[in-house]
Structure 1
Amino acid sequence: MAASAAPCAGHRQGRRQRLELLGLAAVAALLLSRPDLATLAAGLGLFLWGMTLLEDAIKRLSGGTLDRWLHTATSHPGRAIGVGALATALVQSSSLITLLAMSFVSAGLVALPGAIALLFGANLGTTTGAWLIASFGLRFELAHYAMPLLALGLLGRYRLSGSLAGIAGLLLGIGLLFLGIDFMKLGFEAWQDGIRLDGLAGDRSWHWPLFVLVGVVATVVMQSSHATLLLTLTALASGQLSYLPALAIAIGANIGTTVTAVLGALSAGIAARRLAGAHVIFNLVTAAVALILLVPLASLVDIVAELVGLAETAWPLKLALFHTMFNLLGIGLMLPWISRLADLLERHFPEPARLPLTQARHLDSAALNHADTAVSAMEQECRRLERRAYHLLCTAILLPSAEVIGHPPQRSTVEARIEPDAWPLVNARYHDRIKPLLAEILAFQARIDVPLTEAQQHQLEALQARSLRMVEAVRFGEVLQRSFLRHAAPVSPLREAHDDLRLAVAIGLNRLAEGEEGLAITAPIEEIRGHWQNELAKRLREHHLDPWLASSLMNDLHQASRLAAALAEPTPARS
């Protein structure tokens, strides 16, 4: 049955590829027959490409500065809104700020209410794109400025490295944005005598939801509200689109931005899904209010435009003003409800009651988008691995972890009766709880592909080194446990030495948990090792100990020393 399913899947894939090729051929034929559409499509492609390069360059040049700035800002809702708006205005990408906020929430760096406020600010900040395009992009021949930027960006991108290459990427992205805007202007000018979008407009109320839907679909397809607004502004400026439909499309573009958050949350954890839900609710509520009040808001825009000295026919600038005003209205409506919204989302997206023991809790894919969140996720998961290793090492020396961690271990606990059947085998627990989690940690670290500061790189190296040392110690503990269980009987000739050794290891673990390192951890074990090496020689001479048992004890002492050395090994210094 599986064999028959494979050819069917291959057939479906082949049919899909043929349909895609036919679709591309049809689009190519259309663009070849309509140079105006080809110019418009080329401009849109260049604009989206420029946005992608610009976002990537900003992430690389920030070197974690943007991450820390936004993290600090989320302590107060008002500050979070302001910083979210400013950050989005600077990077011209609400998607970047949205994904960053999702990363912070997933990594546990910020609380949900602060991240929600940050998203409110990002929605406001994205309106600056409409202002820039309406103010400059539609008034100047941007291709004239694009060419030197493209030349510098292309040369620098392939000839330079480090931060200079990042600056070159920034110039290349800006140049492509400029060229894309200019191409779209040319496309709409050439299209002026063809299909007219304003023929779809009307004065009836049911027209506005249709244009909102156009804005939603355009933003979802292009994955950029800036691109939708650019198309709308250029169509409005060239007379292809009338004023009120353009306002409705701008409302739809706001709704369409939620798709980025929803798609980002699909592969993320519960916290990111809550934030995506907040983004959807905010944009839907804002859009509904703006659509209901479309005509009154348009009249208010006319009044404000007249007060600030805008011309009556400055439709692109009026659209930018409308875009800002209805986002401000949405923030004003939703700001008092942030805490309740966060509570509602936490109830509807509860944490799972119990995760599988082998599953990582903090290694969310959303955390990979930014340096701080990636390092924080690694740190939290390594701490989980470390706690499991502590418990397993206590199991290896046949002592409850509560008697080892938190207060100095007592000899009376070590000398208590041992029930071998009560202790799970370290080897089985290692394969169930330690190895799978270590594999996830190493795989996550290998996927980190964002610029890291020297301190962040050093922190990741230290976390990995400490985790590997703890796992190595567990493997030594596995060997010790087998010997301790074989000689657990009170009458065993090795019980006395084993009790001394178990207590010494327990003291080392206790000190390690308290933050001590080096000799503080190895000294108790080395002291016991030296004592029993002398004692073994004496008992062998006096025939009080079997040579076979003596060799077993020597091996146990050696394994304990290796365990202590693994725990005490200092983190490698960065040269």
Structure 2
Amino acid sequence: MPAKEAALNAPLSRPMRRRLELLGLFAATALLLARPDLATLAAGLGLFLWGMSHLEEGVKRLSGGTLDRWLHNATRSPARAIGVGALATALVQSSSLITLLAMSFVGAGLVSLAGAIALLFGANLGTTTGAWLIASVGLRFDLAHYAMPLLALGLLGNRLSSGALASIAGLVLGIGLLFLGIDFMKLGFETWQDGLRLDDLGGNRLWHWPLFVLFGIIATVVMQSSHATLLLTLTALASGQLPYLPALAIAIGANVGTTVTAVLGALAAGAAARRLAGAHVVFNLVTAAIALVLLMPLAWLVDVIAAISGMAATAWPLKLALFHTLFNLLGIVVMLPLIPRLANALERRFPEPARLPPAQARYLDKAALEHADTAVAAMEQECQRLNRRAYHLLCTAILLPSADVIGHPPQRETVDTSIDPTAWPAVNVRYHERIKPLLAEILAFHSLIDTPLTDEQRTHLDNLRDQTLRMVEAVRFGEVLQRSLLRHSARTSPLRDAHDDLRLALALGLNRLAEEPEASDIGNPVQTVRYRWQRELAERLRQQRLDPWLASTLMNDLHQVSRLIAALAASPQAQ
């Protein structure tokens, strides 16, 4: 019996899953072939979703990071964040894009959680403009008439152009697909004019409302687009297949369904992105609960506003769009004063790890790869972490505490003190523990960045990578130097005086670099010491005061120090 239960509970094998997928595909194909009206409806929905993806991608490529910077600057005050979030979502017609962008900002440490939460509130409000556009334009005009030339221009532009023109062509193609999808949806519902009636579920019983809310949630989760759910609802409402009040409940469910995108995006992200996803879920659930409880009063308020504004009493799609906007506004009014408390509660619920492993990246979340500015910011901050570690490791390489090098000019007395070789960890060991694994993560992250970048951003990323590699190169030179310094650390060693001069010169260069990362003269003390000891070596060899073997060792050390400082001079150091 246990064996049977284990077999039942075991996950399906890959061949079995493939067979089930093929079976489902054949069943769906058979159903669509048997029901042309359903096939038309499905085709319209597919074209609409395809158009949304082209529209979103075109906006991302055309903005070239401008949208990212705009949203980043907007999070400095809650009111501004809500307004800009709403406007940005209205322009790009994708609350999912704004949500993932806000998650990237938080994950990369660019904005506070409270500011990103306010941005999400605005995105929820901005997404209601989609219902207005569909209700006021999409359902009133023959969009197929305009879709064909847009599709032709978009397809030709994508094939024959590049750069900004290709991005514009992608936008045109997306709009054409949206128009064609809406027209197909209208045509599909018109064929169901007498075959599908939901009048019996008009809200006469208490269980009707949760049922329609659940339908809105499921539809949005399956299609990954609240716009698609609202399009489906609005076309059904306009064609008479769906009563007005159930349509309002479906719109509430569509709002809740959008949280799935945020949750999925946060699964592979850090604690900061999970907090924002939690805020999105809380806001949409609270807003949906308020809207569902106040459904009838809100419907009455919609009728009053519609009558005052001159809207026809039977303009159900426009009334649905108005209802969608009203209950999102109500949610913002209720939740806005609670943003600080919500942020604090989420920070307690999703705390940062008490201590990250030394080699683990902190800012390289997958969510940061979605957008240009967040990818660049994540690279910047992680490269700064690696550079700080490399900086302290270089102090270890020259056998000086970093506290005696950073923050104030190094003193000769510190360099002259006795050296205990057992007190200094090997640079090679620390490099493989703390530097190399982090470098591997940085290089892997850089290779995965395929979001549209401006020339300036692309150059900046390449410079970050190259500077980091040169900093690591300096550490490797320091590793060789440390071995020699430790071998000749005794006060009686013939090389100790020269080594102390080199250590002090390098410490001065590191100190200068810490104070002025762009300084170009950090190698001056090293060059001065090198030239002096090259002359001193020649003199001591002529006078037979220094063994040639030791002289060659010192010449090699002088060379290693010159290579080390040259690498640092090309690698601006984060403080």
Q: Normalising by the residue count of structure 1, what TM-score does the alignment of the two structures yield?
A: 0.96
Which residue of structure 1 lines up, in the alignment, with residue 267 of structure 2? 266
Counterpart Cα distance in 2 of 1:90 and 1:58: 9
Which residue of structure 2 lines up, in the alignment, with residue 506 of structure 1? 507
Which residue of structure 2 lines up, in the alignment, with residue 195 of structure 1? 196
Which residue of structure 1 lines up, in the alignment, with residue 84 of structure 2? 83
Which residue of structure 2 lines up, in the alignment, with residue 5 of structure 1? none
Amino acid at match of 1:486: R
**For the structure 1 residues 157 and 519, does the alpha-carbon distance in structure 2 shift closer, same or farther, using more than 3 Å as the test?**
closer
Amino acid at match of 2:323: F
Question: In 2, are the aligned partners of 1:511 and 1:517 still within 8 Å (CA)?
Answer: no
Question: In 2, are the aligned partners of 1:389 and 1:471 still within 8 Å (CA)?
Answer: yes
Amino acid at match of 2:187: L
Helix, strand or coil at the partner of 2:135: helix
- CA deviations 1:531-568 (Å, max 9, x no partner) are 11111122222222111111111111111111111111
Is residue 292 from structure 1 mapped to residue 293 from structure 2 by the alignment? Answer: yes
Counterpart Cα distance in 2 of 1:503 and 1:71: 44
1:11: Cα distance to partner? 7.8
Helix, strand or coil at the partner of 1:521: coil
Q: Map of 1:440-451 to 2, 5 A cutoff?
A: 440-451=441-452
1:458: Cα distance to partner? 2.3
Counterpart Cα distance in 2 of 1:522 and 1:530: 12
Which residue of structure 1 lines up, in the alignment, with residue 6 of structure 2? none
> More displaced, 160-169 or 293-302?
293-302
Helix, strand or coil at the partner of 2:523: helix
> More displaced, 461-470 or 243-252?
461-470
Which residue of structure 1 lines up, in the alignment, with residue 28 of structure 2? 27
Counterpart Cα distance in 2 of 1:269 and 1:562: 38
Question: In 1, are the aligned partners of 2:263 and 2:277 still within 8 Å (CA)?
Answer: yes
Question: In 2, are the aligned partners of 1:518 and 1:569 still within 8 Å (CA)?
Answer: no
Which residue of structure 1 lines up, in the alignment, with residue 281 of structure 2? 280
Question: In 1, are the aligned partners of 2:468 and 2:571 still within 8 Å (CA)?
Answer: no
Question: In 1, are the aligned partners of 2:55 and 2:175 still within 8 Å (CA)?
Answer: yes
Counterpart Cα distance in 2 of 1:173 and 1:228: 18
1:195: Cα distance to partner? 2.9
Counterpart Cα distance in 1 of 2:442 and 2:559: 30
Which residue of structure 2 lines up, in the alignment, with residue 349 of structure 1? 350
Question: In 1, are the aligned partners of 2:45 and 2:181 still within 8 Å (CA)?
Answer: yes
1:462: Cα distance to partner? 2.0
Counterpart Cα distance in 2 of 1:525 and 1:108: 38
- CA deviations 1:181-203 (Å, max 9, x no partner) are 00010001111222323333341
Which residue of structure 2 lines up, in the alignment, with residue 417 of structure 1? 418
Counterpart Cα distance in 1 of 2:485 and 2:71: 53
Q: Map of 1:145-164 to 2, 5 A cutoff?
A: 145-164=146-165
Which residue of structure 1 lines up, in the alignment, with residue 395 of structure 2? 394
Q: Map of 1:75-474 to 2, 5 A cutoff?
A: 75-474=76-475
Q: Which runs of 5+ in 1 are unaligned?
A: 1-7
Amino acid at match of 2:201: L
Counterpart Cα distance in 2 of 1:261 and 1:105: 13
Amino acid at match of 2:190: E
Amino acid at match of 1:147: M
The alignment of Structure 1 onto Structure 2 pairs a total of residues equal to: 564
Amino acid at match of 1:246: A
Once the two structures are aligned, what percentage of the paired residues are identical? 77
Question: In 2, are the aligned partners of 1:94 and 1:123 still within 8 Å (CA)?
Answer: yes
1:518: Cα distance to partner? 6.3
Is residue 63 from structure 1 mapped to residue 59 from structure 2 by the alignment? Answer: no
Counterpart Cα distance in 1 of 2:194 and 2:518: 79
Question: In 2, are the aligned partners of 1:394 and 1:506 still within 8 Å (CA)?
Answer: yes
Question: In 1, are the aligned partners of 2:471 and 2:571 still within 8 Å (CA)?
Answer: no
Counterpart Cα distance in 2 of 1:201 and 1:17: 41
Counterpart Cα distance in 2 of 1:244 and 1:230: 16
Q: Which runs of 5+ in 2 are unaligned?
A: 1-8
**For the structure 1 residues 22 and 468, does the alpha-carbon distance in structure 2 shift closer, same or farther, using more than 3 Å as the test?**
same
Which residue of structure 1 lines up, in the alignment, with residue 534 of structure 2? 533
Counterpart Cα distance in 2 of 1:135 and 1:359: 52
Question: In 1, are the aligned partners of 2:85 and 2:126 still within 8 Å (CA)?
Answer: yes
Amino acid at match of 1:161: S
Question: In 1, are the aligned partners of 2:151 and 2:173 still within 8 Å (CA)?
Answer: yes
1:465: Cα distance to partner? 2.0
1:10: Cα distance to partner? 11
Amino acid at match of 2:255: N
Counterpart Cα distance in 2 of 1:175 and 1:518: 54
> More displaced, 562-571 or 142-151?
562-571
Amino acid at match of 2:400: L
Question: In 2, are the aligned partners of 1:63 and 1:451 still within 8 Å (CA)?
Answer: yes
**For the structure 1 residues 551 and 517, does the alpha-carbon distance in structure 2 shift closer, same or farther, using more than 3 Å as the test?**
farther
Amino acid at match of 1:418: I
Counterpart Cα distance in 1 of 2:515 and 2:468: 17
**For the structure 1 residues 345 and 240, does the alpha-carbon distance in structure 2 shift closer, same or farther, using more than 3 Å as the test?**
same
- CA deviations 1:352-386 (Å, max 9, x no partner) are 10001101111111111111111111111111111
- CA deviations 1:143-200 (Å, max 9, x no partner) are 0000000000000001101100001000000000000000010001111222323333
- CA deviations 1:265-319 (Å, max 9, x no partner) are 1111111111110000000000001001111111111111111111111111111
Question: In 2, are the aligned partners of 1:301 and 1:321 still within 8 Å (CA)?
Answer: yes
Counterpart Cα distance in 1 of 2:217 and 2:201: 17
1:517: Cα distance to partner? 5.3
Helix, strand or coil at the partner of 1:438: helix
Counterpart Cα distance in 2 of 1:286 and 1:183: 32
Question: In 1, are the aligned partners of 2:409 and 2:508 still within 8 Å (CA)?
Answer: yes
1:451: Cα distance to partner? 1.9
Amino acid at match of 2:373: D
Counterpart Cα distance in 1 of 2:412 and 2:246: 82
Question: In 1, are the aligned partners of 2:44 and 2:185 still within 8 Å (CA)?
Answer: yes
Amino acid at match of 2:523: T
**For the structure 1 residues 295 and 516, does the alpha-carbon distance in structure 2 shift closer, same or farther, using more than 3 Å as the test?**
closer
Amino acid at match of 2:457: Q
Helix, strand or coil at the partner of 2:313: coil
Question: In 2, are the aligned partners of 1:518 and 1:570 still within 8 Å (CA)?
Answer: no
1:9: Cα distance to partner? 10
Counterpart Cα distance in 2 of 1:486 and 1:184: 80
**For the structure 1 residues 400 and 354, does the alpha-carbon distance in structure 2 shift closer, same or farther, using more than 3 Å as the test?**
same
Which residue of structure 2 lines up, in the alignment, with residue 4 of structure 1? none
Counterpart Cα distance in 2 of 1:441 and 1:97: 26
**For the structure 1 residues 364 and 38, does the alpha-carbon distance in structure 2 shift closer, same or farther, using more than 3 Å as the test?**
same
